[in-house]
Chain A
């Protein structure tokens, strides 16, 4: 049995199901991201773990002991709130020491541990400031220190970086990852930002409509999305309806695809924009390559890459990403689009 075990967890509200029979195992010291769009139940799951929301059904077990109905203050979970939730009437040191005071840790040890925690998040000397005198990034660190200082069984991070600006977010991402690794602390990280999930966690659970759509490593999720939802939610995607040829094989824009077709039903073809290559019209496809032809609609410079929009005969569009150093073909140019057969995935049309 894993260190943290959620099984069949369900939370219903008056007219909706926030979390629907969710099961998840997390090993000791592992870092798992709950990734999904807003309303997918990821925060509710985290709150159930912390004891702030009571599940309707299901079991939460920590280190072999069931804690499903244990009161929040007896769970020893370190929760970092999206808004940080620092106590405005207490200074930084007392914010961080709050959990230690509640645990009856003696003053001398408490002060030492608060000092260590301040050092860990690189806020030495700011212990006597009030939270509102700190910048957003500093407040974030205080919230992290406050959750870590109690040596929690599990660290729970709720969209903890979403209130920071992009540059600071990058820095904090690495910092938190490093702290998480050096303390070997079991971590659950709720986010809607795939970059955060991909870079900060050992495994990612992609959630949709209260369930886990897929769980696996960053590479698994990105390269082998299990469902259409995961494929489109994580990373950029081209998703186009495929036709079936007379022989039952799949075709796209009238050209045969080197991809196995699941039997029966309408299907969509999925391929990532950066896996597509542009070639002069009429250039033949190599072995194990897929190829379609169309004309360039327009190109958009995005900074680190250029998006070239290619329209097929039926007006459907593919987005091709090329390096921003390369010159995109002129608008209206006839081009061939090629990609490796192994980069093609096929999903049933209706399945979510």
Chain B
């Protein structure tokens, strides 16, 4: 970039914009994390680590961290299982409806997540589509709990990150050359062996990319855990919201937000290291 100084000007508008609406507020967030809360509940300007000590002495923070990571892992994994075949199909198909199919696959992005959550309530709820169907078929006698718990949140979250993962997979499939699969077949590998020995290893970079993206989106998701969790699912994102709004404890919210950010950056660095090893 230093060799092409004039090219760098292309970055100027976005940089200016991001500094104003992202970097500056984030710095503000860092500042608030070092403030204290007085006995009345009011925020006191300070440079203190008291809130940090308070937050990390609380075992609930640890529990929230595990919850967030576990929820993100499971929902991202579920989403990956569903997205991978779809992406492979979209990448490979020679159908003239290909772009239309791709748009349909990422259509959920166009719907507000609040609307999607209510959609899931209608499907997974006690009197929802699935329970009514299973009951009328006599498979179950009482409704199975699928909302206001981890199951519902995992399903809802997986659905909401799928479009992003499909796009990431499609972008990452670059090296996936069909001729390589033909070569494997001509050398005697049946289709499933060809998939295991050629297609899958060559799509690992795409999978790593999609998984990283899905994981980050799940970690920071707030609406789905909040609404589909029905107050029974506690993760970092919901707790930050509670502290900032219900409790109006901004220092605690800020500390948790900075902590989540650091956690994500750490995990991102880990996954970078991992995917770089995949490349070689």
A81–B193 contact, CB under 8 A? no
* Residue B11 lies at the interface, judged by CB distance under 8 Å to chain A: no
A73–B182 contact, CB under 8 A? no
> Chain B 183-217 against A: per-residue CB contact (8 Å), 1 yes, 0 no?
11111111101100110011000000000000000
* Residue B175 lies at the interface, judged by CB distance under 8 Å to chain A: yes
* A binding-site residues for B, Cβ under 8 Å: 50-52, 71-79, 81, 83, 85-89, 98-99, 102-103, 146-147, 150
Inter-chain CB contacts under 8 Å: number = 65
**Which residues of B in the span 147-195 have a Cβ within 8 Å of any Cβ on A?**
175, 177, 179-180, 182-191, 193-194
> Chain B 76-110 against A: per-residue CB contact (8 Å), 1 yes, 0 no?
00000000000000000000000000000000000
B186–A78 contact, CB under 8 A? yes
A102–B198 contact, CB under 8 A? no
B188–A88 contact, CB under 8 A? no
With a CB–CB cut-off of 8 A, which chain B residues contact A79? 182-183, 186
How many residues from B make CB contacts under 8 Å with A?
20
A52 to B182 Cα, complex, angstroms: 7
A102–B187 contact, CB under 8 A? yes
Given A88-B175, A88-B202, A102 contacting B182 (CB threshold 8 A)? no
User: Which B residue sits closest to A81, measured CB to CB?
Assistant: B179
B177–A85 contact, CB under 8 A? yes
With a CB–CB cut-off of 8 A, which chain B residues contact A89? 201-202
A71 to B191 Cα, complex, angstroms: 10
* B binding-site residues for A, Cβ under 8 Å: 175, 177, 179-180, 182-191, 193-194, 197-198, 201-202
User: Which A residue sits closest to B191, measured CB to CB?
Assistant: A73
From residue A90, how far is it (CB to closest CB) to chain B in Å?
Answer: 8
B183–A85 contact, CB under 8 A? yes
A89 to B196 Cα, complex, angstroms: 13
A80 to B187 Cα, complex, angstroms: 10
A232 to B231 Cα, complex, angstroms: 82
User: Which B residue sits closest to A89, measured CB to CB?
Assistant: B201
B189–A73 contact, CB under 8 A? yes
User: Can you show 30 pairs from A to B with CB atoms below 8 A apart?
Assistant: A50-B182, A51-B185, A52-B182, A71-B185, A71-B190, A72-B182, A72-B185, A73-B185, A73-B186, A73-B188, A73-B191, A73-B194, A74-B188, A75-B186, A76-B188, A81-B183, A83-B177, A83-B179, A85-B179, A85-B180, A85-B182, A87-B183, A87-B184, A88-B180, A88-B202, A89-B202, A98-B197, A102-B189, A147-B187, A150-B187
With a CB–CB cut-off of 8 A, which chain A residues contact B189? 73, 98, 102
A81–B182 contact, CB under 8 A? yes
User: Which A residue sits closest to B189, measured CB to CB?
Assistant: A102
With a CB–CB cut-off of 8 A, which chain A residues contact B185? 51-52, 71-73
User: Which A residue sits closest to B183, measured CB to CB?
Assistant: A85
A77–B186 contact, CB under 8 A? yes
From residue A110, how far is it (CB to closest CB) to chain B in Å?
Answer: 13
Given A73-B189, A99-B188, A150-B188, A87 contacting B182 (CB threshold 8 A)? no
A144 to B20 Cα, complex, angstroms: 59
A276 to B88 Cα, complex, angstroms: 60
B180–A72 contact, CB under 8 A? no
From residue A143, how far is it (CB to closest CB) to chain B in Å?
Answer: 8
Beyond A73-B187, A89-B201, 13 additional pairs, beta carbon < 8 A:
A72-B186, A73-B194, A74-B188, A81-B179, A83-B179, A87-B180, A87-B198, A88-B180, A88-B202, A102-B188, A102-B189, A103-B188, A150-B188
A73–B177 contact, CB under 8 A? no
Query: Which of these, A51, A83, A98, contacts B187 with CB under 8 Å?
Result: A98
A79 to B188 Cα, complex, angstroms: 11
With a CB–CB cut-off of 8 A, which chain A residues contact B175? 88
With a CB–CB cut-off of 8 A, which chain A residues contact B186? 50-52, 72-73, 75, 77-79, 147
From residue B194, how far is it (CB to closest CB) to chain A in Å?
Answer: 8
From residue B280, how far is it (CB to closest CB) to chain A in Å?
Answer: 9
From residue A297, how far is it (CB to closest CB) to chain B in Å?
Answer: 47
